[in-house]
Amino acid sequence: QHHHHHHHPASLEEVRTLWIGDLQFWVDESYLNSCFAHTGELVSIKIIRNKITGLPEGYGFVEFVSHAAAERILQTYNGTPMPGTEQMFRLNWASFGAGERHNDPGPDHSIFVGDLAPDVTDYLLQETFRAHYPSVRGAKVVTDPNTGRSKGYGFVKFSDETERNRAMTEMNGVYCSTRAMRISAATPKKTTGFQQQYAVAKGL
């Protein structure tokens, strides 16, 4: 009964911060503040921005006064529409939703997914894969920073390499929304950015 304590130095009961994902490019701290401030239990909000471009990475962290307060927000808001948008709130405990931290020591097992229908969101892409592979840690549909529209491709991250490799073959040609997905290896090139990564994948 004790042994799960070894994995998390802070027990879940101490965690007061929620991870929030699927954020539209225009969402900023003041918008999120307006969503949660009325609870009277909000401490701080941080949206993670790209160090180079300064553009939001699509996720952030919202801290509350207590674990119980954070839990209430998680239960109340997760999966409900964000005010003034079509997007749903996507919330998780920060300690577990933080697979997207850039200094993550674990290796990244990602795949490139192309030919996505315009309505495919990060969440839909993630759930399409998570239904088959429990080790899916997140998905990102690449959007045009000016319009916020999908560019029709994205990436899915796995923590388990075997599942990543299986997904490459098993999910190729599987439908997500209205189109069959085209899957290839994502070659993580930290510096060249998505554009070149896309060019590489297209050439395969």
pLDDT digits (tens, 9 = 90+) for 5-41: 344 435 656 789 999 998 988 899 999 999 999 889 9
For 66, which DSSP code? Answer: S
pTM of the entire structure?
0.45
Give CA–CA dist 33/44, Å, rounded. Answer: 8
- What whole-number distance in Å separates Cα of residue 158 and Cα of residue 99? 9
Domains of the chain, start order: 15-93 (3.30.70.330), 109-185 (3.30.70.330)
Instruction: Give strand pairing partners of 49.
Output: 56
Q: Using one digit for the tens of pLDDT, what is the confidence trace for 90-148?
A: 998 886 544 444 444 456 689 999 999 999 999 899 999 989 998 888 899 998 878 88
Name which residue leads in pLDDT, 201 or 7: 201
Report, in angstroms and rounded to the nearest whole number, the Rg of the chain calculated over CA atoms.
18
Nearest Cα to Cα of residue 47 among 74, 16, 20: 20
Q: Please report, in angstroms and rounded to a whole number, the separation of the first and last CA atoms in the chain.
A: 49
The widest CA-to-CA distance across the chain, in whole angstroms, is 53
